C-alpha cells in the first residue's frame, strides 16, 4: 500500500541480501568470492608474520617478497621469486596444479558418493551360492528370517537375502531390532519389486539353496505373489532352479500360484493353515506349544534319515532302535509319505524314515528292547470324551475354514455357537462348498457338529454375559480382517479378552479361551487365564515355510500330517501308556504306543518355571525314566480313526480329531 511505511533494513541485512544474490548468479562468482576471501585473510596474515619476524629483510622489497613467498606457500601457488615473468609462470603452474587436484578430488568424491548411494539403495548384485532368498515383506518375514538363520547357525558364512519393495536401510534396521546379532550368518537386504525380473536378478536366485515368497498385503497380496512366481520363472528360464516355497492368503488363488511356481514349488495357504491351528488349540488344549516346538529350528524337528539295512525290516521294529531320534513314519522311494504306518509295514529299498531329531546328522542305531519294562505298560483300552460346546466370537476370512475344521474334529453331538457383531458386515456363507445359508439364529447341523448363530457386541460386558460363556467348554475369539487396522489389528481382540477375563473373575471360574492374534508382540499383552492360549497364525505359517524351504521333501510329510483324513498329532494322558505310581522309561511309553498303533515322539509335563506352565520335550532319550504324573501328556502321531470330541475345560486328557490344513 502506498501509505504504508517500510520497516528500516539494517546494513548487515542489505549486505547479506546482495551477497546471496551474487552467489546465486553463477559458479564463477562463487569462485571469485572464495579467492577474494582467501586473499583477504592470507595476505594480511602473511604481512603480519613478516613484519613481526626479527630475521625478516629490512628493505620493503625484501619484505614484500617474503610476504609473497608465505602467501604462495599457503595457497599452494609456488614460491618462485625473481623476475616478474618467473613469478607469473609460477602462479600459472600453481593454478593448473590446484585445478587438476581439485578436479580429481571432486571426481573421486562424486564417484564414491554415487556408489555409496547405490549401495544404500540396495541395487547391487548379490554374488552368493547356497544362500536363502526371501521375497516380499509381511508379518512372517521376521519369523522366516530368524528360522533360516537358526537353521544355518552351524554353517560358516551362510547368507539370507531379503528382497522387498522397501527402503534397504529401513529393512536392515527393522530386522536387526527384531533378530539381534546374526553371528556367522550374514543378512543382506535389497530394494526392488519382487515382480520385476531385473530386481530378482540382484539376489541371484539361480544359485540359491531355496526361495521363499511371502504372502503380500490383504487386498492385492495374492496377485502380487503370482506375479512374483512368474517373474522368478522368467529369471530362471530353463534352469530348474532351487525349491520355491510360496504362501497365498486365499484358497482360490492357490491353483494359479501352483502353476506359476512350477514342479519344484510348494504353495501353502495361510488362511486355511491359521484356521487349522486355531482348531488345533480348541480341540487339543496344549497342542500349540508342541506344534511351535516341532516347527522351529531351536530344538528338535522333522528330518529324513536312512535306516540301517531297511529292506525287509518291519516298521514296528525300528521304533525302539533309534537311540538319538524319535521315529514318526517313513517316506517311500517314490516320495509317498506314510506317517504312523502299521507296525507290520515292511521297509523296502530306498525308503527313508521320518524322525524327530535335533539336527539332520545320521541317527545312532542300537537295540532298545532292553529299556522296555513290560510290567510297566498299561493295557490298551478305549476312552471316549463327551461332546463339547464351543463359543465363537467374531468372524473373518478364516472363520469358514475354522468351522470346517471343528466339524471334522469335534465329537458328534458337539455344538458351536457363532456370535457376530451386528455393527459389522454379516459373514459370508459358512462352508462353501457345499454352501450354507447366511448365519442366523436357528440351528444348522454340519456333519456331527450343530452350528447356531447369534448377534451381540463381544466388547460389551452385559452382552457377553448374556451369552453365558461359563456354559461352554471353549471360547474362541477371532480378530477382524486387517482392513484399516493394518498397524494395530489386535486391539479389538485384546478388549474382548479383557471382558472375558473380568467375567471369569466375577464367577471365580471361566472356560479356557483360544485367541487369534496377528502380532506376536501382543502375546505378552493378552490377558489369558489358565488353560487359555494365543495363536499367532502368521508366525506358525512362517515356521512351516522355513521347514519346507530347508528340506522340500518334508512338504509331503507336513501335508500328510496336517491334511484332513490323514495322520494327526495328538496329546494323550500319560496314564494310558505307563502307570502313574511307578517310574517307567520313555522306551516303555514308545512300546505301549506301538501296541495301540501310534508313534510316541515326546511328552508335555507340568513345569511352573515355563511361561505357559508346561514344558514340551520332543525326542527324549529312550532311557529317560520318570514317574508319569496325572498332568503329563504324551505327544503321539495317530492314524485317522473315529472322531473323539472336545473334552471339558481341562488341558489334559483330551482326544480330538483336528488337523491344521495346508491344502
pLDDT 10s digits, 453-489: 888 888 889 988 898 888 899 999 998 876 544 557 7
pLDDT at 373: 80
pLDDT at 230 exceeding the cut of 90: yes
**Grid cell locating 604:** 508335555
**Residue 44 banded pLDDT, cuts 50, 70, 90:** confident
Please check the confidence at residue 494 and state whether its pLDDT lies above 50: yes
Distance, C-alpha 368 to centroid of its chain = 39
Residue 439 pLDDT class (50, 70, 90 cuts) = very low
Q: Are 366 and 336 in contact (CB under 8 A)?
A: no
Given a cut of 90, whether residue 93 has pLDDT beyond it is no
**How confident is the model at residue 392, as a pLDDT?**
94
DSSP assigned state of 341: -
Q: CA-to-CA distance for 635 and 328, rounded, in angstroms?
A: 11
Please tell me the distance from the alpha carbon of residue 363 to that of residue 325, in angstroms, as a whole number. Answer: 6
Stretch 392-412: mean pLDDT: 87
Whether the pTM exceeds 0.75: the reply is: no
Tens of pLDDT along 320-341?
888 888 999 888 888 888 888 8
**Whole-number mean pLDDT of the chain?**
78
Give the least confident one: 300-304, 584-588, 604-608. 604-608
Q: How far is Cα of residue 591 from the mean position of the Cα atoms in its chain?
A: 37
625 or 97: which carries more pLDDT confidence? 625
User: Computed from CA positions of residues 214, 220, 226, 231, in that sequence, does the dihedral angle turn out positive or negative?
Assistant: negative
Place of cell 495301540: 596
Cα 398 versus chain centre, distance: 19
Q: What is the pLDDT of residue 391?
A: 93
pLDDT value at residue 380: 64
pLDDT of residue 656: 33
* 377 against 660, higher pLDDT: 377
- pLDDT at position 303 is 87
Over residues 260-284, mean pLDDT: 86
- The lowest-confidence range among 37-41, 546-550, 597-601 is 37-41
User: Quick one: pLDDT at residue 643?
Assistant: 38
Beta-bridge partners for 246: 213, 267
The dihedral region occupied by 175, where left means phi > 0, alpha psi between -120 and 50, and beta the remainder, is alpha
Q: For the beta carbon of residue 57, count every other beta carbon within 10 angstroms.
A: 13
Residue 641 pLDDT more than 50?
Answer: no
* Dist CA 268 CA 222 (whole Å): 12
Helices (H) and strands (E) in the chain, counts: 18, 23
Q: Which residues of 428-447 are buried (b: 16+ CB within 10 A; e: fewer)?
A: eebbeeeebeebeeeebebe
CB atoms within 10 A of CB 182: 18
Q: Which of 326, 355, 388, 386 is nearest to 620 (CA)?
A: 326
> Per-residue pLDDT averaged across 282-286, rounded?
83
- What is the percent of the chain with per-residue pLDDT over 90, rounded to a whole number? 11
Provide the edge-to-edge strand list for the sheet that holds 210-213: 186-191, 159-164, 132-135, 210-213, 244-248, 265-269
Checking if the pLDDT of 383 tops 50, the result is yes
Give the span between the Cα atoms of 562 and 652, in whole angstroms. 21
Residue 260 Cα to chain centre, angstroms: 23
Q: How is residue 416 annotated by DSSP?
A: E
- Choice among 76-80, 236-240, 322-326, 657-661 with the minimum mean pLDDT: 657-661
Which residues lie closer than 8 Å to 212 by C-beta, 6 or more apart?
132, 133, 134, 135, 144, 148, 244, 245, 246, 545, 546, 549
* Range name among 156-165, 292-301, 372-381, 439-448 with the lowest pLDDT average: 439-448
Amino acid at each position: 500500500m502506498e501509505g504504508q511505511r517500510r520497516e528500516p533494513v539494517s546494513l548487515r541485512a542489505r549486505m547479506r541480501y546482495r551477497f546471496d544474490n551474487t552467489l546465486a548468479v553463477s559458479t564463477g562468482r562463487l569462485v571469485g568470492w572464495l579467492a577474494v576471501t582467501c586473499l583477504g585473510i592470507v595476505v594480511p596474515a602473511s604481512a603480519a608474520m613478516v613484519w613481526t619476524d626479527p630475521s625478516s629483510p629490512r628493505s620493503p622489497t625484501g619484505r614484500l617478497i617474503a610476504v609473497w613467498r608465505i602467501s604462495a606457500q599457503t595457497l599452494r601457488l609456488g614460491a618462485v621469486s625473481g623476475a616478474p615473468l618467473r613469478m607469473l609462470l609460477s602462479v600459472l603452474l600453481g593454478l593448473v596444479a590446484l585445478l587438476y587436484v581439485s578436479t580429481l578430488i571432486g571426481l573421486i568424491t562424486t564417484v564414491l558418493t554415487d556408489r555409496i548411494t547405490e549401495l544404500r539403495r540396495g541395487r547391487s548384485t548379490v554374488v552368493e551360492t547356497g544362500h536363502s532368498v526371501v521375497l516380499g515383506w509381511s508379518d512372517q518375514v521376521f519369523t522366516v528370517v530368524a528360522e533360516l538363520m537358526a537353521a544355518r547357525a552351524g554353517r560358516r558364512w551362510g547368507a539370507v537375502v531379503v528382497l522387498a519393495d522397501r527402503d534397504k536401510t529401513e529393512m536392515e534396521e527393522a530386522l536387526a531390532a527384531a533378530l539381534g546379532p546374526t553371528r556367522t550368518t550374514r543378512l543382506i537386504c535389497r530394494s526392488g519389486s519382487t515382480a520385476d525380473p531385473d530386481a530378482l536378478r540382484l539376489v541371484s536366485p539361480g544359485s540359491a539353496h531355496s526361495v521363499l515368497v511371502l504372502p503380500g498385503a490383504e487386498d492385492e497380496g495374492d496377485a502380487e505373489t503370482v506375479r512374483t512366481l512368474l517373474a522368478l520363472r522368467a529369471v530362471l528360464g530353463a534352469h530348474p532352479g532351487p525349491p520355491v516355497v510360496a504362501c497365498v492368503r486365499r484358497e482360490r488363488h492357490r491353483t494359479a500360484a501352483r502353476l506359476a511356481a512350477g514342479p519344484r514349488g510348494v504353495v501353502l495357504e495361510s488362511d486355511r493353515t491359521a484356521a487349522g491351528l486355531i482348531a488345533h488349540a480348541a480341540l487339543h488344549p496344549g497342542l500349540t506349544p508342541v506344534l511351535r516346538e516341532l516347527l522351529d529350528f531351536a530344538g528338535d524337528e522333522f528330518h529324513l534319515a536312512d535306516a540301517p539295512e531297511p529292506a525287509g525290516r518291519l516298521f514296528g521294529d525300528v521304533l525302539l532302535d533309534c537311540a538319538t531320534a524319535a521315529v514318526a513314519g517313513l517316506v517311500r522311494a517314490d516320495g509317498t509319505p506314510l506317517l504312523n504306518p502299521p507296525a507290520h509295514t515292511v521297509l523296502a529299498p530306498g525308503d527313508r524314515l521320518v524322525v524327530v531329531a535335533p539336527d539332520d546328522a545320521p541317527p545312532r542305531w542300537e537295540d532298545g528292547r532292553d529299556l522296555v519294562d513290560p510290567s510297566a505298560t498299561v493295557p490298551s483300552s478305549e476312552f471316549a470324551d463327551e461332546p463339547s460346546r464351543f463359543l465363537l466370537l467374531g468372524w473373518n476370512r478364516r472363520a469358514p475354514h475354522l468351522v470346517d475344521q471343528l466339524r471334522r474334529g469335534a465329537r458328534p453331538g458337539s455344538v458351536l455357537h457363532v456370535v457376530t457383531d451386528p455393527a459389522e458386515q454379516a459373514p459370508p456363507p459358512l462352508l462353501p462348498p457345499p454352501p450354507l445359508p447366511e448365519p442366523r439364529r436357528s440351528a444348522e447341523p454340519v456333519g456331527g457338529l450343530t452350528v447356531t448363530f447369534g448377534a451381540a457386541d463381544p466388547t460389551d460386558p452385559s452382552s457377553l454375559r448374556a451369552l453365558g460363556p461359563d456354559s461352554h467348554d471353549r471360547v474362541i475369539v477371532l480378530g477382524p480382517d486387517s482392513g484399516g487396522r493394518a498397524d494395530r489389528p489386535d486391539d479389538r481382540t485384546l478388549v474382548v479378552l479383557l471382558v472375558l477375563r473380568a467375567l471369569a473373575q466375577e464367577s471365580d471360574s471361566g472356560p479356557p479361551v483360544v485367541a487369534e492374534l496377528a502380532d506376536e508382540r501382543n502375546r505378552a499383552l493378552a490377558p489369558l487365564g489358565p488353560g487359555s492360549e494365543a495363536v499367532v497364525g502368521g508366525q506358525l505359517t512362517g515356521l512351516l515355510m522355513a521347514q519346507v524351504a530347508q528340506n522340500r521333501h518334508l512338504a509331503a510329510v507336513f501335508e500328510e500330517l496336517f491334511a484332513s483324513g490323514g495322520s494327526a498329532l495328538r496329546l494323550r494322558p500319560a496314564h494310558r501308556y505307563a502307570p502313574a505310581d511307578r517310574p517307567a522309561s520313555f522306551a516303555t511309553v514308545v512300546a505301549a504306543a506301538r501296541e495301540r498303533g501310534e508313534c510316541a515322539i515326546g511328552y508335555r509335563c507340568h513345569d511352573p518355571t515355563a511361561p505357559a506352565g508346561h514344558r514340551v520335550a520332543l525326542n527324549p532319550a529312550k532311557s529317560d525314566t520318570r514317574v508319569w504324573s496325572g498332568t503329563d501328556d504324551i505327544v503321539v502321531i495317530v492314524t485317522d480313526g473315529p472322531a473323539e470330541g472336545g473334552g471339558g475345560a481341562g488341558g489334559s486328557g483330551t482326544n480330538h480329531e483336528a488337523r491344521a490344513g495346508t491344502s
